[in-house]
Amino acid sequence: MPEPTSSVAVTEAAAPVARTKTSAYPIEHFVADLDETPLRATDSAVSDAAPRSLWGEAWRSLRKQPLFIISAILILAVIFVALFPGLFTSEPPNENCLLENSDGGPAPGHPLGFTVQGCDILARVVYGTQSSLTVGLFATLGVVVIGGLIGALAGFFGGWVDAILARVGDIFFALPLILGAIVVVQLPVFQQNRNVWTLVVILVAFGWPQIARITRAAVIEVRNADFVTAARSLGVSPLGALVKHVIPNALAPVIVIATISLGTFIVAESTLSFLGIGLPPDVMSWGNDIFSAKPSLRSNPMAIFWPGLALSITVLSFIMLGDALRDALDPKARKR
């Protein structure tokens, strides 16, 4: 706003009469000073800054978020432990288990104490990271590929494709994971070679409908956008439109849910292992450790506490990362 003295008041006869803003009421014809309200060229260029894609924008807002920084550091640490377990403990995990150390407290070289079998807890927790993370990572990958593909096809083509795929998904959705897993594990194929990969297959088989639903909803939303119609009208084939125009724009919610479900798959692995239908007892995993520490819960609670803590922190980091991603990828949903 201009200073009172610089404001120009023009009466009907276009004779400028200087008036101050406060004393004259009503202000008849006020005109702001052009110097203070300059006109810029209409519809002009924004700036000379480098172009930034939406992914770039998301990354910029992401890296400023404390939630993202904390969870990313934790996840990187967990991955590092899984890749190089030898750096964190000098003890081999399954040897040197002496029954005389059973349920022993912390001792020199064994800072977290011993399990009921007399194994070093730290070594077991460190080596257990590998299987937990592998299961979580590959189950998520499988779910995203299978669920994403089915959801995208169902959403994009609609009609009978959608009807069939959606029903199949619903059938799997209706089966409780644990019940289904108990039945599937009894199959001879799974009985004979139970390992990390059989567990991944089971988790993917029961986990894909969730991602399929999310992808389907996101694809339907994007499918009707004008730019897809525009692409179609300019000669892009249906599949081309799906791959190039629809999927990149439907990816954000899928990424968020996939990150969160990575955490839940790790929990599922532990749950199944705890129930004895997950990883075989000779594979080191947090779930198996929690299971084997159960009888000595009162006498040696630390044996269950440490693998439990590792599990909680890992899962929590993935869920936090998912939340941070959601904020960055979908700015509209951000809390005010």
Write out the residues near another protein by the rule CB under 8 A.
1, 8, 10-12, 14, 21, 25-32, 34, 36-37, 39, 42-43, 45-46, 51-55, 57, 225-227, 229-238, 240, 244-245, 248-249, 336
Q: For the range 292-296, what are the long-range contacts, defined as Cβ-Cβ under 8 Å and sequence gap of 24 or more? A: 292/115, 292/116, 292/117, 293/115, 293/116, 295/116, 296/103, 296/116
CB of 295 to another protein, least distance (A): 53
C-alpha 286/C-alpha 115 separation (Å) is 13
CB of 144 to another protein, least distance (A): 18
Q: Which helix H or strand E contains 9, and what residues bound it?
A: strand 8-10
C-alpha 127/C-alpha 93 separation (Å) is 7
CB of 252 to another protein, least distance (A): 10
CB of 150 to another protein, least distance (A): 21
- Give 240 or 301: the residue with its C-beta nearer to another protein: 240
The dihedral sign for the CA sequence 134, 138, 139, 144: positive
- Give 36 or 95: the residue with its C-beta nearer to another protein: 36
CB of 264 to another protein, least distance (A): 28
- Give 3 or 95: the residue with its C-beta nearer to another protein: 3
- Give 2 or 118: the residue with its C-beta nearer to another protein: 2
Q: Is 56 left (phi over 0), alpha (psi -120 to 50) or beta?
A: alpha
Nearest to residue 59, comparing CAs of 328, 305, 333? 328
- Give 102 or 249: the residue with its C-beta nearer to another protein: 249
